[in-house]
Amino acid sequence: MTSVLLTGAAGRIGPTIRDGLRGRCSLLRISHHSLDRLGAAAPGEELNRADLCSLADMEAAMEGIDVVVHMGGRGTEAEWEVIHEKNIVGTYNVFEAARRQKVRRVIYASSHHAVGFYRRSNTLDLNVAPRPDGPYGVSKVFGEALGRMYADKHGMSVVSLRIGAFRQKPEDIRHLSVWLSPRDCLQLIVKCIEAPDLHYAVIYGISNNTRSIWDNSGAALIGYKPEDDAEVYLEEVLQKGTPEGDIAAVFHGGHFCQMDFDGDSSRID
């Protein structure tokens, strides 16, 4: 069995992964800067206080670890100072600590906001150039590039997951295309951990949505076969009638594109 370090266990996605990995690992080490947010350790778990912004903390947290599932950092848009500290410095510390401790694989929580400024009329594959929709998206482009470098330069196995809209169920029209269910999210993480031979891969974190606007054929590399479809919730979503802004409705990144937008959308192909 594999020893796993999970960062970000107190975030939006972390609890689903933490619950689902229990019993699947020889050791599940849960890392957070505040242990009060993690609750009690379950059998097979080990709680570890570590600050992403401290390379020494992260290096200590990775001692004896085979796979890091990095879900930590800032999970939404914020001022650049916050993004820089959590998602630039913090992400570097994760990869560098993993290299120093000879961790076999890092699974990095990227985001579709790394390519958010493409129009929804375009189906995105895994080879599109970065097109971030804000500082948060920029930090995810950085993380993907960093992971690629550590794979090529240092031989680390790295998977970057461009996560869609992780929710219990889709909440608006855009989510019908980009939803990631908890069940599929857990399957995706498990497949990433268990994949036997992998150098570097980018995979969209998305369910089996009828309205998908992402080509996720690369997921076959790890055997990921999502089961859930946002279309099941179509009527519920339509009844909510949640409106989108004029910019948000056009681009893959939705309201992240709308925030602080003062450009000319006609010039964005």
Cα angle, residue 29 at apex, residues 27 and 35 outer, rounded to 5°: 150
Query: Which residue's entry shows tokens 């602080």?
Result: 260
How far apart CA 29 and CA 72 sit, in angstroms, is 14
Residue type at 118? Y
Sequence-distant (6+) residues with CB within 8 A of 207 are 164, 179, 180, 181, 184, 226, 227, 228, 229, 230
Residues with a known catalytic role:
136
What are the structure tokens assigned to 180, written together? 């990631």
What distance in Å separates the CA atoms of residue 135 and residue 25, rounded to the nearest whole number? 35
* Beta-carbon count within 10 A of 162 CB: 23
